Structure 1
Amino acid sequence: MLSVGTPLMWMLFAAFVLVALVVDFLAMNKQGAHKVTMGEAATWSLIWVAVSFVFVALLWWYLGGLGGDEAARGMANVKALEFVTGYLVEKALAVDNIFVFLMVFTYFSVPAEFQKRVLMIGILGALVLRAVMIFAGAWLIARFDWVLYIFGAFLVFTGVKMWWAAGQEPDLESNPALKWIRRHMRIAPDFDGEKFFTVVNGAKLATPLFVVILLIGIVDIVFAVDSIPAIFAITTDPFIVLTSNVFAILGLRAMYFLLAGLHDKFHLLTYGLAIVLILIGAKMLLVDVYHIPVAWSLAATVTVLAATMVLSLYVPARGYPGGAYPFKAKHDKGGDGAKK
């Protein structure tokens, strides 16, 4: 499969991601367990967005966007537009991902100072999972181009399903994964700092924090299955697909703490994401009938998401005063949120 990524570009990108993760881990260990403030989350969110756009600017320049011939400039413009569109779509899907994280944290009453470690581990898992799925998807598309139709149909189905489920009260209690974990694992009733395992009355038990890690990992898998086909509808270039995904994920932890208190204000965003998935899926299904330009995809995505976010500020969520979702903490100390 054709790609603008050269061996040098792949190595430099991999080195950047490793350095970013190491710096993040070192900073987290130095700070210890603490509650991330809104100001800190906003600062890091802006930093990650800025880094992402610096990257695409450098990529545009490297491909000949400035000073290259007409063909090089055209290629640079297309690849930069593909990156920005893919980044925006993945970032938007990550917002829905964040609201699910919030539901899990609230359900288990995870202290705010412990959440950042869980999110960091979740991000690592998401990066590895996305890389594997992207290369597998690129391999499939290169050998069986009809896979694009399957991806397109799946996105349309996912969009319709997301629209249907939007606004409904989340029910983690009946989640099959959580039920399976409770049946096969002995879980302590309380947290033990940031430990994943603890000893209670001489028996080694998993802490609720470990259960949260497992559920976050499952959430990563579910959202990866949705987002990978979405990005392949925009571009089949593995380098653009992976870089746009990775940059969207790297800022996920900071974005969580920035948006965690605003989930009730953007209750219509899920409807917007559903529309975007349906449009992208339709684009993929029509690939042999009519080629929809990437610029149109970007414009449609921005318009739909902006409209639903603005409408969310004026239209209260049905059934919930003020639009707030009734996330209920089930794992209070001494409660029955985990199997004892």
Structure 2
Amino acid sequence: MAETPLAFEIGTFVVLGIFFVVDLLIIGRRPHIPSTKECVQHIGFFVVMALIFGGCIWFFAGSKPAIEFYSGWLTEYSLSIDNLFVFVIIMSNFAVPKIYQKYVLSVGITVALILRGCFILVGAAIIERFTWVFFLFGAFLIYTAIGLVKGDDEDEEYKENGVIRALRKVVKISDEYDGEKLRTTKGGVRYWTPMLIVFLAIGTTDVMFAFDSIPAIFGLTKDPFLVFTSNVFALLGLQQLYFLLGALLDKLVYLPLGLAVVLGFIGVKLIMEALHANSLPFINGGQPVTAVPEIPTWLSLAVIVVAIGSAAIASVLKMKSMETKDDAKAQVEAK
């Protein structure tokens, strides 16, 4: 596999840095509720940029890394959409005014990108030294997939984690927001606003999201450059997606099943790779299982596209079916 040239990687980080600053730190800082047109334009722009970027990788490094990028980007994007369910619950739980929700998401996504970058560096270092960690990654992804099928992740209300509960005990937090401010004064006393708690809730929640998204992406490519860029392109435009989908998120009923298929597939793929590369005393007489087939990159991309696409189409069909039933019921009641 050809490696992407250093100049291309540096140029990529510069361009992504510009995208990041403009999308999150400039546009995202302006308190407003994005219109549907604005959301569609932003999302469409970043999707097209991701497709073009994959084409550039194909040109500079070949088809295999390009397909790995597309596979990773689609997986991370799908997981990000699923994570929006939790963001909606957090915003509702803390009664964040809608005009400031875009700003909150901007800060949350910034924190997410920094944390994921750290996880990727650590993950790459671990994988390079200990290939047996794929057994753990694979088992965890299969466990997560089973949880999605069973519906274990479908919490109807957000539960504060230990970090936030501990913070409430040691600092004074006001009951009301003061615009975008983190600190406010009431009766001559300085308080932290609920905005601090919301930032922490979004940031610490994304840490837990990374525990399944990072192993998943490493199951598709071992190149830290592709892993990181897949995450960046998945996070850019996420705040506009939040407002565009809005109330429709809870109607994507089959998305968790589609994600379960993807995560389960990647988990099995990781275990197969681990069997192929590691010697275990209780398997094959202590020799690597070289007979285990290697799953081609194009097949991974095909499984991801079919699983997520089928889940989205099935969700839309069910939503339309429910709307038809509701309309028919309303007509009967009207008579």
1:42 corresponds, among 36, 40, 43, to 40
Letter aligned with residue 209 of structure 1 = M
Identity %: 36
Deviations 1:221-269 (A, max 9, x none): 0111110100111111122111111111122122211222211220221
In the alignment, structure 1 segments of 5+ residues that lack a partner are 64-75, 317-321, 324-340
Alignment RMSD: 2.1
Letter aligned with residue 6 of structure 2 = P
Match of 1:268 in 2: 254
CA distance in 2, matches of 1:135, 1:167: 27
The yes-or-no answer on 1:293 pairing with 2:296 is yes
Q: Give the superposition deviation at 1:161.
A: 2.2
Q: Give the superposition deviation at 1:77.
A: 1.0
Deviations 1:259-300 (A, max 9, x none): 222112202211221221111101111122221112111111
Q: Give the superposition deviation at 1:177.
A: 4.5
The yes-or-no answer on 1:15 pairing with 2:1 is no
Q: 1:5 to 1:162 in 2, by over 3 A?
A: same
Letter aligned with residue 151 of structure 1 = F
Q: 1:200 to 1:3 in 2, by over 3 A?
A: farther
1:231/1:241 contact within 8 Å kept: yes
Match of 1:27 in 2: 27
2:5/2:60 contact within 8 Å kept: no
Q: Give the superposition deviation at 1:141.
A: 1.0
Q: Give the superposition deviation at 1:158.
A: 1.6
Secondary structure of 1:180's partner?
A: helix
TM-score (ref. length: structure 2)? 0.84
Secondary structure of 1:302's partner?
A: helix
List aligned pairs for 1:48-59, cutoff 5 A: 48-59=46-57
CA distance in 2, matches of 1:35, 1:27: 11
Deviations 1:153-206 (A, max 9, x none): 111112222333357442324654443333333221111111112112222212
Give the helix-richer structure, 1 or 2: 2
CA distance in 1, matches of 2:8, 2:296: 26
CA distance in 2, matches of 1:129, 1:309: 29
1:41/1:258 contact within 8 Å kept: yes
Letter aligned with residue 286 of structure 1 = M
2:102/2:239 contact within 8 Å kept: yes
| Between 141-150 and 255-264, the greater mean CA deviation after superposition | 255-264
2:164/2:200 contact within 8 Å kept: no
2:269/2:295 contact within 8 Å kept: yes
The yes-or-no answer on 1:190 pairing with 2:188 is no
Q: Give the superposition deviation at 1:89.
A: 0.3
Q: Give the superposition deviation at 1:36.
A: 1.2
Match of 1:103 in 2: 89
Secondary structure of 1:170's partner?
A: coil
Deviations 1:275-327 (A, max 9, x none): 211111011111222211121111111212122222223447xxxxx99xxxx
Match of 2:230 in 1: 244
CA distance in 1, matches of 2:218, 2:53: 20
Q: 1:274 to 1:144 in 2, by over 3 A?
A: same
Match of 1:113 in 2: 99
CA distance in 2, matches of 1:175, 1:138: 28
1:167/1:267 contact within 8 Å kept: no
In the alignment, structure 2 segments of 5+ residues that lack a partner are 277-291, 320-324, 327-335
CA distance in 1, matches of 2:136, 2:83: 23
2:252/2:315 contact within 8 Å kept: yes
CA distance in 2, matches of 1:109, 1:40: 24
List aligned pairs for 1:252-263, cutoff 5 A: 252-263=238-249
Letter aligned with residue 8 of structure 1 = A
- The size of the alignment, in residue pairs, is 303
TM-score (ref. length: structure 1)? 0.83
Letter aligned with residue 252 of structure 1 = L
Q: 1:185 to 1:164 in 2, by over 3 A?
A: farther
Q: Any runs of at least 4 consecutive aligned residues in structure 1 with deviations exceeding 6 A, and if so which?
A: none
List aligned pairs for 1:168-207, cutoff 5 A: 168-173=154-159, 175-207=161-193
1:135/1:238 contact within 8 Å kept: yes
CA distance in 1, matches of 2:309, 2:294: 25
2:72/2:227 contact within 8 Å kept: yes
Q: 1:140 to 1:175 in 2, by over 3 A?
A: closer
Match of 1:145 in 2: 131
CA distance in 1, matches of 2:121, 2:243: 31
CA distance in 1, matches of 2:160, 2:194: 17
